[in-house]
Structure formats: C-alpha cells, structure tokens
Amino acid sequence: METMFRKTDESLVEMFANGNNQAFDILLERHKDRVYNYILLIVRNREMAEDIFQETFMRAIMTIKQGRYMENGKFSSWICRIAHNQIIDIYRRERNEKTVSNEEYEEQDLFNDAKLCEENIEDKMVREQVLQDVNNLMLHLPDEQREVVYMRYYQDLSFKEIADITGVSINTALGRMRYAVMNMRRMAQEKDLSLAV
C-alpha cells in the first residue's frame, strides 16, 4: 500500500479504472483540500460546497469507470475543471441572469507582468500580510475575478492551468487578473492598505 502513495496521479487513475478502489482513495486524499477550498471560496456556503465537492468526485468516479477519462494534462486540473463546471451549473440553476464578466476584453493582448518570482526568506512575513489583505479584498471581487486571483496566488496555478480549468483563453484569464488587480488596488486605496511586497 505504501508504494501506491508514491505513484503518479495518472498511474492511480489507471489502477482505479482497472478495479483498484484504494487508488481512488489516494487520489481523493491528495486533492480533497485543494478542491474543497476552491469550491468554498467561490460559493461561500459550506453546505453547498460540500454538495458540490461530493458531486465533483462522484462525476470523476463515473467518468473514470466508464473509460471516458482522457489524460491530457494534470489530474488536479481535470478535477478542478469538474468542480468549476458544477459551480457554473448551480449558478445557472439559481440565477437566470448572467454573471458580471469581462469577456468583451478577451481580444486584448495582455502579458503577465506581475512580479511572481520566488520569494526570499526576508519577504515571507511581508508576503503573508499582503496575502491576508488580498484575501480580504478579493472577497469583494466579481466571481470570475476572485476565482482567478485564488487559483493564481493560493493554488499557485499557471495562467494556462487557470485557463484550462475555467474553460477560457489565456488572454481572458490574464484579463480577469488584470481587472481583479485594478479593483483590489482601488479598494486598497480606499482602505489605505499597501499591496506591495
């Protein structure tokens, strides 16, 4: 059993597809916190988050068991994509109106100019305070912007992974981040906070 913990996600998926249920237990243990926290951040309701979390992993189980899982990236991105789709389905059912969006800016050629390099030890405490301030501010962002900020800064995903999970182009993901940063800067100025690391 201990050697199973060392296997890659893709190996575990294959083992589960071939009838080894322990393989899926390991996948669940590896990814449950990340998926649940992602869902909870978006829906901001524990009961709803738990329902979506359960449905996400049930869909993953069915997809793998039916032989429809296509290995075309990371398992973690795939499972987050399922969670994302579940959230969208719930929002569509609950709201007949469209979520506020920056889709009209999709064609802009935006570059990732944020200073996202590795931090040194001296910056760690400052960064933690900034992340706490960012966390407080991002709760006031539109859903799509909050989602990108969370995935980038708290899940450490690349913009390509974010684009894959959310089903948009990289430029759209970058655009959402840009508008999120602009909105958070405005809010920070209103609250007299510094978001510089």
Residue 134 in this model has a pLDDT that exceeds 80: no
Burial (0-12, 13-18, 19+ Cβ within 10 Å), 193 = middle
Residue 143 in this model has a pLDDT that exceeds 70: yes
Angle of CA points 185, 187, 188, to nearest 5°:
60
Question: Which has the minimum average pLDDT: 73-87, 97-111, 127-141, 154-168?
Answer: 97-111
- At the topology level of CATH, where does 2-94 sit? Rna Polymerase Sigma Factor; Chain: A (1.10.1740)
Of all residues in the chain, the percent with pLDDT exceeding 90 is 33
Question: Could you give the CA distance from residue 68 to residue 78 in angstroms, rounded to a whole number?
Answer: 12
H-type helices in 6-158, by residue range? 9-17, 21-43, 46-65, 75-94, 121-138, 143-149
Question: Could you give the CA distance from residue 190 to residue 55 in angstroms, rounded to a whole number?
Answer: 40
Q: What is the pTM of this model?
A: 0.58
Question: Could you give the CA distance from residue 177 to residue 92 in angstroms, rounded to a whole number?
Answer: 23
In CATH, what is the architecture of 109-191?
Orthogonal Bundle (1.10)
What pLDDT, in 10s, does the model give residues 103-133? Answer: 444 443 333 333 334 445 555 666 666 667 7
Q: Domain ranges in the chain?
A: 2-94, 109-191
Residue 125: the pLDDT is 65
Residue 158 in this model has a pLDDT that exceeds 90: no
CB 13 within 8 A of CB 72: no
Q: Beta strands of 44-178 (E only): which ranges?
A: none
* 32 sits in which H/E element: helix 21-43
